[in-house]
Amino acid sequence: MTNSTKNTGSELLTVTGITKIFGTLKANDNVDLDVNTGEIHALLGENGAGKSTLVKMLFGSLQPTSGSIQWRGSTVTIGSPSAARILGIGMVFQHFSLFDALTVSENIALSLGESVDMNDLAQKTRSVSQEYGLPLDPGALVGDLSVGERQRIEIVRCLLQDPALIILDEPTSVLTPQEADKLFETLERLRDEGRSILYISHRLEEVKRLCSRATILRHGKVVGACDPRKETAASLASKMVGADIDIVHRDNAGNTGEVLLALNSLSMPAATPFAMALKNISLDLRAGEVVGIAGVAGNGQSELFDAISGEATQNNPDDVVINGQSAGLLDISERRNLGAAFIPEERLGHGAVPDFTLSENLLLARHQSDKDRFLKLGKIALINRAAVKILARKIVEDMDVRKSGEDPDASALSGGNLQKFIVGRELDRNPDVMVVNQPTWGVDAGAAARIRQALIDLATSGSAVMVISQDLDEIFEISDRIAVISDGGLSAPAPAKEMTRENIGMLMGATHQATSDGSASAAGNEEARP
């Protein structure tokens, strides 16, 4: 590859007064930003701060309403992603744009926009991937690759275009700790070559490790800049949200009671060619504890959630036992009636209907478990809308849900505020068992702290809580015990205080049998019993 070292320290990209308006919303408001040659520069902000809008304009996916962009000292118009690539700007998005049925080389060829020699491309892909410590087999089918390998494709595809500036959006959200460390080494090498990196991440310890400067957005405006290396993670979070972040605390750790949720050799075939089969998963979840399920995306988390919640039922009634009652044949409403609550990963469309109001979504989720409260039963069942709206207001107040209007549609709320409402909707039931998948995905630091504390408080009150999360900071912050899901199997749960990131990383990538101390792999078996 070409070494792009040029005038290290000089300004490569300068953004002046960039504004982007969507209807009545100012997603970016007079934003100034400069990125120097040969630096890793963090772009920070809570959910909805305007980060994605800004980088989409830098990559040509959106056009600014006003303002200017200078590249190497000259004012430019970036009309499309292909124009950005020609300038020397590459971007690796948080959500992959890969075709599972194509090979690595074929996916890369699609992004080049020109006729390419596939044999030559395969050689270049192999060479560049090895050179930067991101090994790939150009002939491998993407559908057969791990999530970490898929991210390597995105990065190598970007590097093959020899960019001077690489924009990375949440690059470690799908990586094991070991894979993340390897990525950091690659990024530091790229920086030392003179390439620039604009780094977006909510993982502030990473920002402190990698970045020499940070620009902070709030409500679409630049509210500050700093050297992250001189800050704490807490001070960076405070700058992002404009207030101190509540510290999550656990006062009742280790006080557990009876088993409220039991998984007994739970196995399920993959529902689709690209889904994950569940393999002999056993776990007891006890009153008074939070069990964290760590893992890299795509290893069976969604399938596990569906199996526990009843969205996918089992052939054996004893595969899932809730509150001592066999539930494997029961649907989600019947499992809720046993005292369980479920919060899916996708909040808009799965956790809530976008075009329904908050009160309507509340009724939709709880009309079975709270029918005496919400329905006037007689010859004709009538909805007690007043009772539904009163409870919706209480949930909004309890969870500090920020909204416009008395009872807005779910789609009118920011992601973080909708998540707080959905979590509050289930917490209000005071369930015996709570299972939540990715509770704070895409949620700002303040909302995340509130949600995590609420889950801990629920366990402290005597409920059993399972948290499925890709965020290791979250897993360590709230869990009493930790298990790892990998390739559809579950490791033996171990006390959180005995687990390390390195240990979890090994479990994330392992495929052999688990041991009772959690030190081996994630293939589920009967030894997963505590």
Confidence of residue 524 (pLDDT cuts 50, 70, 90): very low
Same domain, 234 and 318: no
| Mean of pLDDT values over 306-320 | 96
Q: Give residue 5's pLDDT.
A: 41
Same domain, 276 and 313: yes
Q: What's the pLDDT tens digit per position in 32-83?
A: 999 999 999 999 998 778 898 999 999 999 999 999 999 999 999 999 999 9
Q: Give residue 494's pLDDT.
A: 95
Same domain, 206 and 316: no
Give the closest residue to 433 by CA, choosing from 301, 336, 350.
336
The reply to whether 251 falls in a domain is no
Same domain, 149 and 269: no
The reply to whether 250 falls in a domain is no
The reply to whether 141 falls in a domain is yes
Say if CB 299 and CB 308 are below 8 A apart.
no
Q: Give residue 264's pLDDT.
A: 97
Q: What's the pLDDT tens digit per position in 340-394?
A: 999 998 888 899 999 999 999 999 998 877 777 787 766 676 888 889 999 999 9
Same domain, 462 and 507: yes
Same domain, 337 and 298: yes
The reply to whether 254 falls in a domain is no
| Mean of pLDDT values over 142-148 | 81
Q: What's the pLDDT tens digit per position in 273-297?
A: 778 999 999 999 999 999 999 998 7
Same domain, 306 and 180: no
Q: In whole angstroms, what is the distance from residue 527 CA to residue 530 CA?
A: 8
Same domain, 367 and 234: no
Give the CATH number of the domain where residue 423 resides.
3.40.50.300
Q: What's the pLDDT tens digit per position in 149-160?
A: 888 899 999 999
Pick from 114-128, 404-418, 505-519 the range whose average pLDDT is largest: 114-128
Quick check: 143 pLDDT over 90? no
Q: In whole angstroms, what is the distance from residue 301 CA to residue 467 CA?
A: 10
Distances (CA, A) of 330 to 264, 339, 454: 15, 13, 28
* The domain boundary residue, chosen from 209, 241, 273: 241
* The domain boundary residue, chosen from 241, 276, 294: 241
Percent of the chain, pLDDT > 90?
A: 60
DSSP string, 411-429: GGS-HHHHHHHHHHHHHTT
Same domain, 298 and 432: yes
Query: Which residue in this structure is represented by tokens 């890369």?
Result: 108
* The domain boundary residue, chosen from 191, 207, 241: 241
Tell me which of 97 and 68 has the higher pLDDT: 68
- Per the structure, the complete domain to which residue 164 belongs is given by 11-241
In 370-509, DSSP assigns E strands to 375-376, 382-383, 433-437, 464-469, 481-486, 489-490, 494-495
DSSP string, 308-375: HHTSS--SSGGGEEETTEE-TT--HHHHHTTTEEEE-S-TBTTTB-TTSBHHHHHHHHHTTTTHHHHE
| Mean of pLDDT values over 77-99 | 90
The reply to whether 472 falls in a domain is yes
pTM of the predicted protein model: 0.75
Same domain, 148 and 280: no
Query: Which residue in this structure is represented by tokens 């505590």?
Result: 530
Q: Give residue 463's pLDDT.
A: 96
The reply to whether 447 falls in a domain is yes
Say which range, 173-182, 193-202, 307-316, 344-353, has the weakest mean pLDDT: 173-182
The reply to whether 6 falls in a domain is no
Q: Give residue 377's pLDDT.
A: 67
Q: Give residue 348's pLDDT.
A: 85
Q: What's the pLDDT tens digit per position in 186-217?
A: 999 999 999 999 999 888 889 999 999 999 99
The reply to whether 123 falls in a domain is yes
Same domain, 223 and 302: no
23: left (phi over 0), alpha (psi -120 to 50) or beta: left
The number of distinct structural domains making up the chain is 2
Q: Give residue 512's pLDDT.
A: 35
Token pair in block for residue 212: 């020499």
Same domain, 309 and 407: yes
